[in-house]
């Protein structure tokens, strides 16, 4: 592994693993959920709130594509890099930007060398290649960089999946050959859609390369959920055991539990923060849609067992009022709660493995 990084599995129950990923910015106990800070911020929260209990997030995710476009590499560089700009000293993982480029298919054109696209902000033309994606992440100074990949949609035909696998393999080798920031780790990404044979062929191509970790990409992109679970159950534990395994962009608490049982170590998803802002909250008693009239006069907490400030200090009725009034305070309190739920949930899964 890259100097300064080490990964060890400290306990295993079935295929589920509890591990520790050592990085130059601090240790990460796995399995772990990474809050998403797309544009250099986890929406509505300060880094102090993210680092303090009950969140105590050991790592967050930021996005190369969005930071490249705004505020720009020039601004991030002038502010001392991503860590300094944000005031966050713990690990940061940056997505390569590949998923964002390919999700804006109407604005992009892919070829074997890379992707030409137009900014979703102002329509200006840009181009990403494996080398430029690595250069951007090096200049951002993230702790863990992701290789540039092509992510096909969940309903893609076999020829599209095969082409994405071929390109992702070629681009992975180019990413490994490209310069990185000093002490920056690099994870490879495995594609193949819901074709298990394609997944295994891709693993055979990438598994022996010198990546610090391996990610399962191309899931939760429109395929049926049972098919996603099938791929995880049959494929996740085949990833190199001595490296962290990362499932990208997934998902619900049930998804996390299923994937941990299959041997996955790391996760990210916008679901807890996005759903919080849209009025859906996760609790130990199930999902709560805070706009429902049943909460109008409910003086009880959102989740009696939750230690977050939202649950300790505010009633469901007040949260409903804030949501309906479109008050900014609602978004902060809801985001704080949902991320607390997710991080407590993933830590409870870890504790079950350690027992």
pLDDT tens for 309-351 read 999 999 999 999 999 999 999 999 999 999 999 999 999 999 9
Please, what is the Cα angle at 43 between 39 and 46, to 5 degrees?
A: 100
Question: Quick check: is 288 in a domain?
Answer: yes
Among residues 215, 250, 269, which one ends one of the domains? 269
Model pLDDT, residue 123? 93
Pair type for strands 125-128 and 114-118: antiparallel
CA distances from 266 to 63, 108, 219 (A): 16, 29, 14
The single residue of 149, 255, 265, 268 carrying the catalytic annotation is: 268
Work out the percent of the chain whose per-residue pLDDT is above 70. Answer: 99
Among residues 269, 301, 336, which one ends one of the domains? 269
Q: What is the DSSP letter of 301?
A: B
Q: Which residues, other chains included, contact 272 with Cβ-Cβ below 8 Å and sequence gap of 6+? A: 35, 282, 335, 338, 339, 341, 342
The region that residue 301 occupies, defined by phi over 0 for left and psi between -120 and 50 for alpha, beta otherwise, is beta
**pLDDT band, very low/low/confident/very high, at 98 (cuts 50, 70, 90):** confident
Q: What pLDDT digit, counting tens, does each position of 247-271 carry? A: 999 999 999 999 999 999 999 999 9
Q: What rounded mean pLDDT belongs to the chain?
A: 96
pLDDT at 66 > cutoff 70 = yes
Question: Quick check: is 305 in a domain?
Answer: yes
174 and 316 together in one domain? no
Q: What pLDDT digit, counting tens, does each position of 272-285 carry? A: 999 999 999 999 99
Of the ranges 97-101, 114-118, 242-246, 259-263, which one carries the lowest mean pLDDT score?
Answer: 97-101
Q: What are phi and psi of 136, to 5 degrees?
A: -60, -45
- Count how many Cα atoms sit within 13 Å of the Cα of residue 132 in the half-sphere of its side chain: 13
Domain that holds residue 130: 24-269
Average pLDDT over residues 202-214: 97
Contact (Cβ atoms closer than 8 angstroms) between residue 50 and residue 88:
yes
Question: Quick check: is 76 in a domain?
Answer: yes
157 and 299 together in one domain? no
292 and 249 together in one domain? no
Average pLDDT over residues 162-169: 97
45 and 152 together in one domain? yes
d(CA 16, CA 23): 22
78 and 98 together in one domain? yes
Average pLDDT over residues 72-88: 98
Model pLDDT, residue 104? 74
CA distances from 208 to 169, 188, 203, 204, 239 (A): 12, 11, 8, 7, 10
The region that residue 160 occupies, defined by phi over 0 for left and psi between -120 and 50 for alpha, beta otherwise, is alpha
Tokens 């193949």 -> residue: 192
pLDDT at 91 > cutoff 70 = yes
Return the bridge partners of 188, or none. 214
Among residues 229, 245, 269, which one ends one of the domains? 269
**pLDDT band, very low/low/confident/very high, at 47 (cuts 50, 70, 90):** very high
254 and 126 together in one domain? yes
The single residue of 95, 149, 265, 303 carrying the catalytic annotation is: 95
Model pLDDT, residue 81? 98
Q: Any catalytic annotation for residue 268?
A: yes
68 and 169 together in one domain? yes
In total, how many domains does the chain have?
Answer: 2
Average pLDDT over residues 19-40: 98
Instruction: Look up the CATH number of the domain holding residue 203.
Output: 3.20.20.105
Q: What pLDDT digit, counting tens, does each position of 227-241 carry? A: 999 999 999 999 999
Model pLDDT, residue 148? 97
171 and 265 together in one domain? yes
250 and 277 together in one domain? no
Question: Quick check: is 6 in a domain?
Answer: no
Model pLDDT, residue 105? 67
Which tokens is 128 given? 């990403």
Contact (Cβ atoms closer than 8 angstroms) between residue 269 and residue 288:
no
Model pLDDT, residue 102? 67
220 and 351 together in one domain? no
Model pLDDT, residue 35? 98
209 and 250 together in one domain? yes
């Amino acid at each position: 592994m890259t100097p300064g990084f080490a990964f060890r599995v400290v306990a295993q129950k079935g295929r589920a693993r509890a591990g520790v990923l050592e990085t130059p910015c601090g240790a990460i106990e796995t399995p772990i959920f990474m809050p998403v800070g797309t544009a250099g911020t986890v929406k509505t929260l300060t880094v102090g709130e993210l680092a303090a209990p009950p969140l105590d997030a050991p790592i967050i995710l930021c996005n190369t594509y969005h930071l490249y476009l705004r505020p720009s590499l020039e601004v991030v560089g002038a502010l001392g890099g991503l860590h300094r700009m944000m005031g966050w000293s713990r690990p940061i993982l940056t997505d390569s930007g590949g998923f964002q480029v390919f999700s804006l298919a109407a604005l992009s054109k892919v070829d074997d060398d890379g992707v030409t696209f137009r900014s979703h902000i102002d329509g200006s033309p840009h181009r990403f290649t494996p080398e430029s994606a690595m250069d951007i992440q090096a200049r951002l100074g993230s702790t863990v960089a992701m290789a540039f990949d092509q992510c096909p949609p969940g309903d893609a035909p076999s020829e599209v999946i095969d082409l994405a696998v071929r390109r992702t393999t070629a681009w992975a080798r180019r990413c490994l050959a490209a310069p990185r920031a000093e002490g920056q780790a690099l994870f490879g990404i495995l594609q193949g859609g819901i074709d298990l044979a394609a997944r295994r062929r891709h693993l055979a191509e990438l598994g022996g390369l010198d990546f610090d970790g391996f990610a399962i990409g191309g899931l939760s992109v429109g395929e049926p959920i049972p098919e996603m679970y099938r791929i995880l159950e049959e494929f996740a534990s085949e990833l190199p055991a001595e490296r962290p395994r990362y499932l990208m962009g997934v998902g619900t608490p049930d998804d996390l539990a299923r994937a941990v049982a299959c041997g996955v170590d790391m996760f990210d998803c916008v679901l807890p923060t996005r759903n919080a802002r849209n009025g859906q909250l996760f609790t130990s008693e199930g999902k709560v849609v805070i706009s429902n009239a049943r909460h109008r006069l409910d003086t009880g907490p959102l989740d009696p067992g939750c230690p977050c400030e939202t649950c300790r200090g505010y009633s469901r009725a007040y949260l409903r009022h804030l949501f309906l009034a479109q008050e900014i305070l609602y978004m902060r309190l809801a985001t704080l709660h949902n991320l607390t739920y997710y991080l407590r949930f993933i830590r409870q899964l870890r504790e079950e493995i350690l027992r």
